[in-house]
Amino acid sequence: MALGAVAEPPVRRRGSDYAQLSRRISQAGLLERRPGWYVTRIVLTLGAFVAGWVAVFLLGDSWWQLPLAALMAVATTQVAFLGHDAGHRQMFRRRGPSELVGLFAGNVAVGISYGWWVDKHNRHHANPNHEDEDPDVGAGALVWTPEQALETRGINRWLAKRQAYLFFPMLLLEGLSLHVASIRAIIGREDGKYTVPMRHRAVEAALLVVHTAAYAALLLAVMSPVKALLFAVVHQALWGLYMGCAFAPNHKGMPMPTAEDELDYLRKQVLTSRNVRGSRLVDTTLGGLNYQIEHHLFPNMPRANLRRAQPIVRAYCVEQGIPYAETGLVESYRQALGHLHEVGRPLRLALIHISEPTRRVV
């Protein structure tokens, strides 16, 4: 699969459920590119991002840099959303311009590997919430099924028992995790081959070095080492938290298909995804990911068209008798955390049984 764009939906027979929905969406003009919208979005987002770093430079050696680090976490996440859209070719049909935007947004501005992310995100879109196929629900610091929980050992088992309570604190390390994963993807080899396919490996490596050097040089040039370190900690921690909060409502707590489930493309994408209701402010805050169902059905659809596509998709799901999950933002987190808590139940029950004192028989 070529990198630079998330896989196109598989071709379906003419009369399939997905084909009928696709025709309605296409007839509404919602798959057409929105160059004017994206030019405005890119100018505003990158303008705020650059202005933030200029403010860091001008503010100098001040403790006011820490609140500014929090604002830069927001700006960094918004730039990352542009990289997400570029990876799906929502901005341009051609791979070249999409990759240029993606490499700048990912490697240069944010400091994560665009090629690694696209490979990982392709696999997620192909099989969302599938335990064996979706890398986003593989066992790691968090576990997503009781089976994964029971296989944990040591510190991972301790975390799995309490993961619902630790979820948001652990997201503070998500930014660091993304940086480390990017480096591993670029240099990682197994049996003489790179573990992650990447079209521009040398370029990506060089751009990550440039990002890291420029980031460290700017902070150390304008503030003391202690303030520079604290700025980096606040910036990276809150960026990771924001990213995690934007992606968490989308699939966590939704059905997790297995190899035994035979779902067509339409049902595979709809049943595993959750939308988040809200105003245009929510759209901007979550980068359009609150329309997760529409995004998964039409990953190349420009972000600005997702709101208009939603009523068409929702009405069609009602016609077909397909459950369409949509909830408020707070409720989406409650459902996701509830799922994480339930997954850890077998471990907590085992702990209770082990801890119960043996009763003496008189």
Tell the burial category of 230 from Cβ atoms under 10 Å away from its Cβ (0-12, 13-18, 19+). middle
pLDDT tens-place string over residues 191-218: 888 999 999 999 999 999 999 999 999 9
pLDDT tens-place string over residues 39-61: 999 999 999 999 999 999 999 99
HSE-up of 305 (CA within 13 Å, CB side)?
Answer: 26
pLDDT tens-place string over residues 277-315: 989 999 999 999 999 999 999 999 999 999 999 999 999
pTM over cut 0.85: yes
The residue with tokens 């929105």 is 34
pLDDT tens-place string over residues 7-32: 444 444 445 899 999 999 999 999 99
Amino acid at 54: V
Give the per-residue pLDDT at 258: 84
- Residue 172, pLDDT > 50, answer yes
At residue 326, φ and ψ (nearest 5 deg) are -150, 135
Return the axis-axis angle of helices 225-247 and 163-171, rounded to nearest 10°: 130
Give the per-residue pLDDT at 131: 86
> Hey, what are 263's tokens?
């779902």
pLDDT tens-place string over residues 109-164: 999 999 999 999 999 999 999 988 999 998 888 999 999 999 999 999 999 999 99
Amino acid at 26: S
pLDDT tens-place string over residues 76-99: 999 999 999 999 999 988 889 999
User: In which band, very low, low, confident or very high, does the pLDDT at 351 lie, cut at 50, 70 and 90?
Assistant: low
User: In which band, very low, low, confident or very high, does the pLDDT at 244 lie, cut at 50, 70 and 90?
Assistant: very high
Q: What does the mean pLDDT of the chain come to?
A: 90
Helices (H), ranges, the chain: 17-27, 35-59, 65-87, 95-103, 114-126, 146-150, 154-161, 163-171, 174-187, 201-222, 225-247, 265-271, 280-285, 292-297, 306-320, 329-343, 345-355
